Amino acid sequence: MAKRKQPEPKPAPPSTAKVGVYVCHCGGNIGDAVDVKQVCEQARRAPGVVVAREHMFMCSDPGQEMIIEDLKSGLVDQVVVASCSPSLHETTFRSVMVRAGANPYLYEHANLREQVSWVHHGPEATGKAARLVAAAAAKAGQLTPLEPLKVEVQPRALVIGGGTAGLKCALDLAARGQAVVLVEKSPFLGGQAGQLSRLAPGGETAAEVISELAGAVLAHPAVTVYTCSQVTGFEGYIGNFKLKVTRMPPEGPEDDERLAAVGRSGRGLGEYAPFAGVMPTAIPERPEEIDLQAGVIVLATGMRPYRPRRGEYGYQDFPEVVTLPEFNRLLAEASAAGDTLELQGRPIRSLALVHCVGSRQIPGIHEENEGGYLNEYCSRTCCAAALFAANLVREQYPKTRVFDFYRDIRTYGRGQEELYTRAAKKQAVFFRFEAGEEPEVLKNSDLKGPPLLVKVKDILTFGEELSVPADLVVLAVGQEPNNIADLVAKMKVPVGADRFLQEVHPKLRPVETAVAGIFLAGTCQAPLDVGETCAAAGAAAVKAAAILSRGYVELDPFVVEVDLSRCTGTGACVEACLADGALSLVEMEAAGQKVRRARVNPVLCMGCGACVAVCPENAINVQGWTLRQFEAMVEMIVSDEYIG
Amino acid sequence: MALVNPDFAEELQAYGVDTALECFNCGTCAAICPLLFEHFPRKMIRYVQVGAKQKILEQANDLWRCLHCGLCTRTCPRQAGPGELILGLRRYVVAQARRA
């Protein structure tokens, strides 16, 4: 559990403070608008300031060395750097403190760039800069050394979802020597990929990919797999998540379909069954609850293919309209040889493919889906999957013609453009439509011809209206995130406008969520293909393993602390607290009497300060941001004593 | 509403037009063609792709505007040989005229 060194109770009085102020020109970014020399001069007059220096680039090595020297020589104890925004360089200068052997929390940052030079000019700019620096120096004089919170980590990872991402992530974690619990809702491992036949663009079979992954996971002694299981209870924080997993017999048509597929295939437990996946164990007969603790959680809850509305491109109105995943199943049942593809005894001489079904929907142009949302994103994987299917058909059944209707061809990745070129070489005919002028699927009035007619206003033919008779229309459907509203509500992980789970930063922190210790892997985050999913899962495994193998995590100590000499146990703080469990009232002895006093769980505290605002006794304060420190800052901002 | 005729591209193979479906309609040929004439030569190639036989016969005169400079063939990113396709279409049109 959480351990913390108590800081010195009494802040050093301002008179004994030795504050060093370091003002940065930021090239000309600050220096062009702010008179840095004057800021330094005024800073020297502020109480507690023993030295004020300037530098062209304080973040450069010489700038940092200057600060380190002053700290090491004992000239200064507290440091103020006045430069860019703290989000850019606060950590840089805190680590300067550490390198000088000082406490990193005896540091205060003043923002003279975003808050001054970029928005003000002339004498006012210099005046504001001087006040901000004086305020920061006043706060610095009040700072006390703090220690980061240290939280022990339960040596176990929980991976939620047994598809490609979950399997790969569990395997990579186990390979790093970490214990893993893998929880999968359905009776199967393999997820959506396990229900495909061949994978674009390379053509590997789902059977080999999923057999290898699931086989290795099931054989690994460090991985415990629970199928037919869901996470039904969640509490705790990074390093100490407490979870309840409920195992119960599956229900729902999707699982029934896959169970039937296993029956037909004649495969046993632990073996890959086409269009189902790998069923590792028998289905539980009665519900069962499992309690477990985990240090980290990886969400690999995956996606589902978009299901077209009734009537969308004739889906469900005509039996000859199918989705691409449905088509792949039909294709697997068809005879592998022959000039013309035959599906369920019906020759398919003309096959139409439609791209972007359920993707790239535009408000005001496209109809909202059930639930009132639009999928405005590109699903990325369907172009390659559609072209892969087109090539497969053209190569195996040369008398089956393929007509491809696209809005844009987005063959973005390695091996994908080749699929597009190959489709043209194999004589597929392409048509292009505008958004909002999607092709129409109609009944063919020529009763001797194929049953359907696909009508399109074709951009490639100068906007002329063309129609193509079709025996089968295949809809290249996109990806939608699985509905995990219950998990989202429990874990409070952020969800994007596209309903996929959202990372902290798309480039710099692509597999972390805003909830510390919870990571993302695979298509719960965005539409991805199997290769991309494995890459993402590997990244999540590394991030998770880094926490587990270290054994503890360090958190910033900016959390509240109760001053028991002032607390009277009003409970106002507990009521105002926004983080469940961070504050509570506990019984304790004070002067021989039993009293109730506030107690903080520092690991759960977010440092928001809601409690500080409501405490009538001023008995609670955020460390590093105490009311006394704020008062010192305000005094300097309004004072005309030192700043002219 | 014109019906697409996929057999037409096959019919043209006898006249040496066999790469029309490799064109992905980028329009580079039309951009570089010194004639700067409508969408020539992409227009003709597109008509081959969708089997618009009648359109080609109606606009057959345009085929004889081509200067054989070869710029389109040299710049085609798909090596679909637009210049050669125009020559093949001329052979087809002539054969149609003779038959008529």
pLDDT digits (tens, 9 = 90+) for A272-328: 999 999 999 999 999 999 999 999 999 999 999 999 999 999 999 999 999 999 999
Whether residue B18 is contained in a domain is answered as yes
Query: Could you tell me where the DSSP H helices lie in A460-527?
Result: 485-491
User: Which residue of A422, A461, A466 is the best one to mutate when testing the B interface, meaning the one whose CB has the most B CBs within 10 A?
Assistant: A461
Residue A15: pLDDT band with limits 50, 70, 90? low
Number of domains in chain B: 1
* Residue A590, CA distances (Å) to A427, A569, B35 in order: 88, 12, 98
Q: Which residue has the tokens 């802040």?
A: A11
Whether residue B89 is contained in a domain is answered as yes
Q: Which residue has the tokens 């632990």?
A: A270
**Residues of B with Cβ-Cβ distance to A461 under 8 angstroms:** 46-47, 50, 52
User: How would DSSP label each residue in A340-383?
Assistant: SEEETTEEESEEEEEEEETSS--TTTSPPPTTS----S--SSHH
A465 → closest Cβ in B1, B21, B43: B1
Q: Which of B47, B24, B31, B96 is nearest to A409 (CA)?
A: B24
What does DSSP assign to residue A195?
A: G
pLDDT tens track for A201-236: 999 999 999 999 999 999 999 999 999 999 999 998
Fill in the amino acid letter for B24. F
- What is the average pLDDT value for chain A, to the nearest integer? 94
Express as a percent the part of chain A with pLDDT over 90: 89
Return the pLDDT at B1.
57
User: How would DSSP label each residue in A550-588?
Assistant: H-EEEE----EEE-TTT-----HHHHH--STTSEEEEEE
Whether residue B74 is contained in a domain is answered as yes
pLDDT tens track for B61-80: 999 999 999 999 999 999 99
Measured in angstroms, the CA of A122 and the nearest CA of chain B are apart by 54
The chain A residues in contact with chain B (CB within 8 A) are 350, 401, 403, 420-421, 424-425, 427-430, 432, 455, 458, 460-462, 464-469
Whether residue B15 is contained in a domain is answered as yes
**Tally: H helices and E strands in chain B:** 6, 1
Radius of gyration (C-alpha) of chain A in whole angstroms: 32
Residue A10: pLDDT band with limits 50, 70, 90? very low
Whether residue B4 is contained in a domain is answered as no
Return the pLDDT at A12.
42
- Pair of tokens at residue A55: 């530098």
Q: A196 and A207 in contact (C-beta within 8 Å)?
A: no
Return the pLDDT at A122.
87
How many CB pairs below 8 A link A and B? Answer: 51
pLDDT tens track for A375-405: 999 999 999 999 999 999 999 999 999 999 9
- Pair of tokens at residue A565: 């000499």
- Say yes or no to pLDDT of A1 above 60: no
Cα distance between residue A301 and residue A230, in whole Å: 11
Whether residue B2 is contained in a domain is answered as no
Return the pLDDT at A644.
60
**Residues of B with Cβ-Cβ distance to A340 under 8 angstroms:** none
User: Which residue of B12, B18, B21 is the best one to mutate when testing the A interface, meaning the one whose CB has the most A CBs within 10 A?
Assistant: B21
Domains of chain A: 16-146 (3.40.50), 157-302+482-553 (3.50.50.60), 312-469 (3.50.50), 559-622 (3.30.70.20)
Q: Residue A188 contacts by C-beta under 8 Å, 6 or more apart in sequence?
A: A162, A194, A227, A258, A276, A277, A278, A279
The torsion region of residue A48 among left (phi > 0), alpha (psi -120 to 50) and beta comes to left
Measured in angstroms, the CA of B57 and the nearest CA of chain A are apart by 16
pLDDT tens track for B4-52: 999 999 999 999 999 999 999 999 999 999 998 889 999 999 999 999 9
Q: What is the mean pLDDT of residues A77-99?
A: 95
A466 → closest Cβ in B2, B25, B78: B2
Collapsing DSSP to helix, strand or coil, A398 comes out as coil
User: b vs e for A145-173, b when ≥16 Cβ sit within 10 Å of the residue's Cβ?
Assistant: ebbebbbebbebbbbbbbbbbbbbbbbbb
Query: Could you tell me where the DSSP H helices lie in A429-571?
Result: 485-491, 530-550
Q: Which of A303, A322, A241, A359 is nearest to A521 (CA)?
A: A303
User: Which residue of A350, A427, A433, A444 is the best one to mutate when testing the B interface, meaning the one whose CB has the most B CBs within 10 A?
Assistant: A427
Return the pLDDT at A604.
86
**Residues of A with Cβ-Cβ distance to B26 under 8 angstroms:** none
* Residue A599, CA distances (Å) to A337, A477, A602, A627 in order: 75, 54, 9, 19
B39 → closest Cβ in A401, A403, A462: A462
A424 → closest Cβ in B3, B46, B78: B78
Find residue A599's DSSP bridge partners.
A584
- The answer to whether A461 contacts B24, with C-beta atoms less than 8 Å apart, is no
Cα distance between residue A415 and residue A401, in whole Å: 23
Cα distance between residue A78 and residue A47, in whole Å: 13
Q: A21 and A110 in contact (C-beta within 8 Å)?
A: no
φ, ψ dihedrals at A555, nearest 5°? -120, 155
> Which range (A152-166, A185-199, A358-372, A472-486) has the least confidence?
A358-372
* Residue A453, CA distances (Å) to A149, A457, A487 in order: 67, 13, 44
Measured in angstroms, the CA of B69 and the nearest CA of chain A are apart by 25
Residue A580: pLDDT band with limits 50, 70, 90? confident
> What do you get for the CA distance between the two ends of chain A, in Å?
51
Q: A632 and A14 in contact (C-beta within 8 Å)?
A: yes
Return the pLDDT at A338.
85
- The answer to whether B25 contacts A420, with C-beta atoms less than 8 Å apart, is no
Q: What is the mean pLDDT of residues A411-430?
A: 96
Cα distance between residue A421 and residue A411, in whole Å: 10
Whether residue B3 is contained in a domain is answered as no
Q: Which of A565, A561, A567 is nearest to A596 (CA)?
A: A567
What does DSSP assign to residue A284?
A: P
**Residues of B with Cβ-Cβ distance to A466 under 8 angstroms:** 1-4, 50
Return the pLDDT at A252.
83
Return the pLDDT at A555.
85
**Residues of A with Cβ-Cβ distance to B39 under 8 angstroms:** 462
Cα distance between residue A540 and residue A274, in whole Å: 28
Q: Is the peptide bond prior to A14 cis by the omega test (within 30 degrees of 0)?
A: no
Q: Is the peptide bond prior to A201 cis by the omega test (within 30 degrees of 0)?
A: yes
Collapsing DSSP to helix, strand or coil, A506 comes out as coil
- Pair of tokens at residue A352: 């139409």
Cα distance between residue A352 and residue A52, in whole Å: 74
Residue A3: pLDDT band with limits 50, 70, 90? very low
- Pair of tokens at residue A167: 């399997």
**Residues of B with Cβ-Cβ distance to A467 under 8 angstroms:** 1-4
Radius of gyration (C-alpha) of chain B in whole angstroms: 13
Q: Which helix (H) or strand (E) is A226 found in, with range?
A: strand A223-226
- Pair of tokens at residue A561: 């602390």
Residue A89 sits at the vertex; the CA angle it makes with A87 and A91, to the nearest 5 degrees, is 90
Measured in angstroms, the CA of B49 and the nearest CA of chain A are apart by 7
The chain B residues in contact with chain A (CB within 8 A) are 1-4, 6, 9, 21-25, 39, 43, 46-47, 49-50, 52, 78
Give the number of other Cβ atoms within 10 Å of residue A509's Cβ: 12
pLDDT tens track for A115-147: 999 999 888 999 999 999 999 999 999 999 999
Return the pLDDT at A565.
93
What range does the domain containing B64 cover? 9-99
Collapsing DSSP to helix, strand or coil, A229 comes out as strand
Return the pLDDT at A7.
39
